[in-house]
Amino acid sequence: MAWGEWMCPTAGPEHELTLEQQRRSIQSYDLAHAQDMCWRLAQLCQQQDLIIRGATRRIAELEVREALRQ
């Protein structure tokens, strides 16, 4: 795997199906439910962003170490 290749995921059919099911479910939300879901999504995005940033730094560090060993 080339450097950084892991950062370009491809969604399979099962992911597309899940996304479509979620889209259809969201269309039935009332305003209060949609606002609550939006708030929880914002919190989740922030948490995932922090995790991904930390993991990205760690993976880059490991890739550099590996390149220097070779």
28-51 pLDDT tens trace: 999 999 999 999 999 999 999 999
Mean residue pLDDT across the chain = 91
pLDDT over 70 at 1, yes or no: no
Determine what percent of the chain is predicted with pLDDT higher than 70: 94
| pLDDT, average across residues 10-16 | 93
Report CA Rg, the chain.
18
Query: Is 23:34 a contact under the CB 8 Å cutoff?
Result: no
pLDDT value at residue 50: 96
Q: What pTM, to 2 d.p., does this model score?
A: 0.64
